[in-house]
Chains A and B, each alone.
Chain A
Amino acid sequence: MYRQTDIISDAQVSPQEGDLVINVGPQHPATHGVLHLVITLNGETIKKVEPHLGYIHRSIEKMCESLTYRQFIYVTSRMDYLSAHINNHACALCVEKGLQVEIPARAQVIRVLMDELTRIASHELWWGAMAMDLGAFTPFFHAFRERETINDIMEETCGARLTMNYMVPGGVMQDVHPNFQRRVKEFIQLYKRKIHEYDELVTGNIIFQNRMKGVGYLSPEDAVAYGCSGPVTRGSGVSSDIRKIYPYEIYDKLNFDEVLESGGDSFARYMIRIREMHESIKIIEQLIDNIPEGDFQAKTKAVLKLPKGEFYTRVETARGELGVYIVSEGGTTPYRIKFRSPGFSNLSVLDHIARGSKIGDLVAMMGTLDLVIPDIDR
């Protein structure tokens, strides 16, 4: 369907005389983590961006192989820590696929609610950090006001703010807190009352728009060829929402739209995430009054053993497609685990979109890719 583009052929750009090679990171506030970029510059124009990884490699995949199927899930909160729930969800789904257990309807709804709350929280943080990258500090606090409300909800129900470990094979660990529904409704009201501030402060701002529009163009073909996923591809108009293409849990019964923009530039990717927050609110509104009664966890054995074979599941995190691949030899621990993390593929496109633009735009482009470094390194 898509034309193969000549990305690989221009990969080798070696610095020439008069070029400047600078290092950004590994400790740099704009990279939001320990990412090391080696940038070749010709004057102010970027000739090449080379990401150097490995500074926060914790060998999570290998570590998971020595943990049981109940234990390994908590480690994955530490990959993409802003979508911790969704990471846990993917792993729980994969184990359930192997065990072939039915998840109670209540657990499914709670899981989806938690996923969407996480997605909003993640996009809020991205929005604040993105504006901060461009030099505006105030939006950061505005974003954190709403995000804090979500964190409080999480703290009340799951007992933690960031690394919840709430999804377990068979359902969720505890039932939702009695206050959960009230608190979520309060959050929806707060969100609707405050969301226009986002447009006033950032989206409508001419300086911001000029720095975003037409910058970091990514064509639909390249987005597919690089294996990007999530808002990065949707900003180029390629439909890639796993919730729509390969629905899991109850997503196929829900009424929400896959957000698509055709611009392909930084501004399109920005708008995707802003609009995705509205869609998530829509999903939460549909579910919050309709949490079915029943168990929050299916009955599973104390020691889980997956049958011999290979299992793969994918979910849509706030950053894109997360795949979990488990190879089982029939024992209590996985033989091999592989995570297909969205951040890694999204980072690989940075060199492509940055070439030829000015160094001042690099941070803005990186911001719209929404990179979480521990997710890339694992």
Chain B
Amino acid sequence: MFIVKYIKDILGAVKSLAIGMKRTLYYFTHHKEIITQQYPDNKDTLVLPERFKGEVVMPHNEVNEHRCTGCTACELACPNGTIKVVTKFDITPDGKKKKAIDKLVYHLELCTMCNLCIEACPSDAIKMAQTFEHSVYDRSQLTKILNNPGSKIMEGVE
């Protein structure tokens, strides 16, 4: 009886292996079902979803204006001190002082892409960009200033 069981076991093992190998061979001959993407080669056609969280950016319009009022809500919302808002006071034409941002410093190396700053911003001044190739040679290059040089706040944004 032992010998019968032994032979049965071997036959069963061969059969189950054959079933598995059939599956592997199926994919070997059906190239259409392969879903692998050739990453660096498909860079031109690679589109990430619009919600993908890659990096915080501040959009500017054609005349170099942004929507940031310098309220520091993003700075307070950020869990790890990634954003630092540096404000200054502009003198408006009628002689009043008005708070505005000087620099919005963003440390990409600290950012965890949690989206909390974007949720917190009351004037939709910042958003997530769909970039992901962030490697640079020196970490100081990862500290970015989000507002363009010479930019100012858009008309009508309070």
B19 at the interface (CB under 8 A from A): yes
**Number of residues on chain A facing chain B (CB within 8 A):** 30
Interface size class of B (residues with CB under 8 A): 20 to 34
Which of B9, B22, B77, B113 is in CB contact (< 8 Å) with A206? B9
Q: Judge whether A200 and B12 touch: CB under 8 Å.
A: no
Given the complex of chains A and B, what is the CA–CA distance between A145 and B27 in angstroms? 13
Q: Judge whether B112 and A201 touch: CB under 8 Å.
A: no
B1-32 CB mask vs A (1 if < 8 Å, else 0) is: 00000000100110011011011100000000
B115 at the interface (CB under 8 A from A): yes
Which of B16, B49, B78 is in CB contact (< 8 Å) with A159? B49
B19 to chain A: which residues have CB within 8 Å? 200, 204
Given the complex of chains A and B, what is the CA–CA distance between A294 and B9 in angstroms? 59
Given the complex of chains A and B, what is the CA–CA distance between A148 and B119 in angstroms? 27
Q: Judge whether B23 and A177 touch: CB under 8 Å.
A: no
B108-129 CB mask vs A (1 if < 8 Å, else 0) is: 0000111110011000000010
Contacts A70-B116, A156-B51, A173-B119 given; indicate if A201 touches B13 (C-beta within 8 A): no
A313 at the interface (CB under 8 A from B): no
Which residue of B is nearest A158, CB measured?
B51
Q: Judge whether A160 and B113 touch: CB under 8 Å.
A: yes
**Within the complex, what minimum Cβ distance (angstroms) separates B35 from chain A?**
6
Which residue of B is nearest A196, CB measured?
B23
Given the complex of chains A and B, what is the CA–CA distance between A204 and B51 in angstroms? 41
What residues make up the interface of A, taking CB atoms closer than 8 Å to B? 67, 70-72, 74-75, 138, 145, 148, 155-160, 163, 165, 168, 173-174, 177, 197, 200-202, 204-207, 302
| CB-defined A-B contacts under 8 Å, sample of 17 | A72-B79, A74-B79, A74-B116, A75-B79, A155-B52, A156-B49, A158-B51, A159-B49, A159-B128, A165-B116, A173-B119, A174-B51, A177-B51, A205-B20, A206-B13, A206-B17, A302-B120
Which 6 A-B pairs have CB atoms at the shortest separation, nearest pair first?
A71-B79, A159-B51, A206-B13, A74-B114, A159-B53, A156-B49
What residues make up the interface of B, taking CB atoms closer than 8 Å to A? 9, 12-13, 16-17, 19-20, 22-24, 35, 48-49, 51-53, 77-79, 112-116, 119-120, 128
